[in-house]
Amino acid sequence: MVSLLPKVKKLQTTQNKISISCICVQGEISDFAKCELENFIKEKTNLSLDNAGYKIEFLVVDEKRNNEWYYIDVKNDNMTVKAVCEEGVYRAIQTIKQILSQDMYVSVVEDEPGNAFRSFMLDVGRYFYPVEHIKKIIDYISLFKFNYFHFHLTEDQGWRFESKKYPKLTEIGSKRSHTNFGIKKEEGFYTQSELRDIVDYCHKRFIKVIPEIDIPGHTMSALACYPELSCFDRKLKVSTHWGVKFDIMCAGKDFTYTFCKDILDELCEIFTDEYIHIGGDEAPKKRWELCDNCNAKLNELGLDNMEQLQLYFANYMAEYLKSKGKQTIMWYNKFDENDKIVPDKDIILQFWGTKKDTEFCDVVNSGRRVITSNSSGYYIDLPYGYITLDDSYNTQGVTGIENTKSLFGYETCLWTEYVKDIKKAKFNMFPRVLAISEVFWAGEKAKDYDGFKTKLPLFNEYLKKFDVKMPRRGIYNPNPIRKFFSKLWFEKRQLVWQGLYLTIDNFMLKRKIENQKYKRREK
Ligand code: ACM
Ligand code: ZN
């Protein structure tokens, strides 16, 4: 049996097992890609390298094909690999690694992706991941042919992106005094040179990078450094605990717009690919409702409510990015196409709800570009009790959409409230990333879950070469009792949520502001 993952478009096998002992890699292949394949052969197989060995010959052909297309022809004494550019060569190498790791019964592989946008998101705002671990994660996703890395760089709990213009963001904003789960400090940030190195690391693997600066919500780490960004110039702290915060950037002050544009300038210098993510999720309007500046802005713009003010803010940033030659992605929030203001048509909306979201179906059908990170299957931060391997494979990008061609892209998200290090990240990723990579690469119409499951034992072995030990089936597809306890264990989070503190703080602030307004009126 031959097991390739993600499933390839066309596979022909043969009864004659090809036996080889040493290999020679040659032809039209970059030094980097050649080195990757040769190192794999040397370090992770029983084969050796020898100029007189079995030839793997790369040819870049002049054909009208997808850049990721490749064709592998396996003969007894040589293998020919065709692609139209280096990108296809690189994807082919990932398949060749798999072929060389099993009994060689392959005769022909022809492959290309069913989806052009296959993304993996890592949140480094909650927990900081050192550069070497980021690279390890990039190695993993490149093995399974992901082509975008969404780098969620800022959160209430930590600002990880070095800004030369606003140095306090990392001096203060990259540190939290403790976490939900312990008394230990949590801190870290990436220098601009480290970030450039990560971008370069991705590009060599034909992975584009989408940096995210999440605004206007989830910005406590920035507000703690620059109180003037908040509605009432509040003295705030980098959040220690997770959860949605009421303090967000003020949309009524000029400084907020200047600050965000400055940050976007620095971001665009480092992240040279076409997409920038501006977040926009979970931004409660409690402060904006009370704030004179936000209300003045709302009135000046003639908008109906604060949700519309957030859309104005997002469109403003998207317009700015457009002037810099970038395209904007933002988290989808419900809106009505008949409202006074709607997201700019050029903005790509990222869906993060569950499969029951019928309104989102309308958005997809309206022709807007959307990325799905359907949290019923692709949120791999959640425990296996919530998102089983079955769910990751079988969840639809958007339920209720007949023509999934209108989806612009797919993304799986690794949030890190509960994923504090690479060890836990690997546990959460595998085997779910295997399932997801197959859905993303081969496309939803090509799904074959039974076929996928038969490949798991072999990929359990394959992943051991890369320092990954997959959990047992009882863990990734738990029975109802284990599911119940997995959920119960996870839900203990309620005990460490700061909801009560936020409610009291909100009440006190509201009273203070209302008193101030009353006193002003009295005068
Ligand atoms: C999100 O899950 N808050 C995008
Ligand atoms: Zn405000």
pLDDT averaged over 10-residue windows placed end to end, the chain, 523 residues: 95 93 97 98 96 97 97 96 98 98 95 97 98 98 98 98 98 94 91 98 98 98 98 96 94 98 98 98 97 98 97 98 98 92 96 74 86 94 96 87 73 96 98 98 95 97 97 96 90 73 91 90 80
Please report, for residues 214, 250, 364, 386, the alpha-carbon distance to residue 283 in angstroms, rounded to integers and kept in the order given: 10, 11, 23, 25
CA of 252 to the centre of ligand 2 (A): 5
Query: What length is written for the chain?
Result: 523
pLDDT value at position 6? 98
| Chain segment 53-111, per-residue pLDDT in tens | 999 999 999 999 999 999 999 999 999 999 999 999 999 999 999 999 999 899 999 99
pLDDT value at position 366? 85
Question: How far apart are the C-alpha atoms of 212 and 450, rounded to whole Å?
Answer: 36
Burial 425-442 (b: 16+ CB within 10 A, else e): bbbbbbbbbbbbbbbbbb
Strand 348-351 relative to strand 327-331, pairing: parallel
From the CA of 379, give the closest atom in ligand 1.
2
Q: Ligand 1: which of 282, 332, 417 to mutate, most ligand atoms within 8 Å of CB?
A: 282
Residue 123 — φ and ψ, nearest 5°?
-95, 115
CA of 187 to the centre of ligand 2 (A): 29
Contacts (Cβ under 8 Å, ≥6 apart) of 26: 55, 56, 57, 58
10, 109 contact by CB (below 8 A): yes
410, 397 contact by CB (below 8 A): yes
Structure tokens at 471: 């959990």
Q: Which residues are found with C-beta within 5 Å of the ion, ligand 2?
A: 231, 250, 252, 291, 293-294
Structure tokens at 389: 């391997």
Question: How far apart are the C-alpha atoms of 202 and 39, rounded to whole Å?
Answer: 18
Give SS3 for 323. Answer: helix
Give the residue, by CA position, lying nearest to ligand 1 atom 2: 352
Q: Is 346 in the pocket of ligand 1 (CB under 6 A)?
A: no
Nearest to 85 by CA among 112, 108, 57, 66: 66
213, 279 contact by CB (below 8 A): yes
**Cis peptide bond N-terminal to 471, omega within 30:** no
Please report, for residues 3, 275, 338, the alpha-carbon distance to residue 367 in angstroms, rounded to integers and kept in the order given: 37, 19, 15
| Chain segment 283-331, per-residue pLDDT in tens | 999 999 999 999 999 999 999 999 999 999 999 999 999 999 999 999 9
Residues paired with residue 371 on neighbouring β-strands, in sequence order: 350, 409
From the CA of 415, give the closest atom in ligand 1.
2
Amino acid occupying residue 103: D
Structure tokens at 130: 């050192």
From the CA of 331, give the closest atom in ligand 1.
4
pLDDT value at position 397? 87
Q: Is 331 in the pocket of ligand 1 (CB under 6 A)?
A: yes
Q: Is 282 in the pocket of ligand 1 (CB under 6 A)?
A: yes
Q: Is 110 in the pocket of ligand 1 (CB under 6 A)?
A: no
Structure tokens at 431: 């085997």
383, 486 contact by CB (below 8 A): yes
Question: How far apart are the C-alpha atoms of 494 and 102, rounded to whole Å?
Answer: 46
Q: Is 206 in the pocket of ligand 1 (CB under 6 A)?
A: no
Structure tokens at 44: 């992770």
Question: How far apart are the C-alpha atoms of 476 and 478, rounded to whole Å?
Answer: 6
Give the residue, by CA position, lying nearest to ligand 1 atom 3: 281
Q: Ligand 1: which of 278, 415, 418 to mutate, most ligand atoms within 8 Å of CB?
A: 415
CA of 513 to the centre of ligand 2 (A): 12
332, 363 contact by CB (below 8 A): yes
CA of 44 to the centre of ligand 1 (A): 38
Q: Is 352 in the pocket of ligand 1 (CB under 6 A)?
A: yes
H or E segment and range at residue 368: none
Residues paired with residue 155 on neighbouring β-strands, in sequence order: 158
From the CA of 279, give the closest atom in ligand 1.
4
* φ/ψ bin of 518: left (φ > 0), alpha (ψ from -120 to 50), beta (otherwise): alpha
User: Would you say the C-alpha torsion 101, 103, 109, 115 has a positive or negative sign?
Assistant: negative
Instruction: Outline where 278-397 has alpha helix (H).
Output: 286-290, 292-301, 306-323, 358-365, 389-394
Question: How far apart are the C-alpha atoms of 255 and 310, rounded to whole Å?
Answer: 16
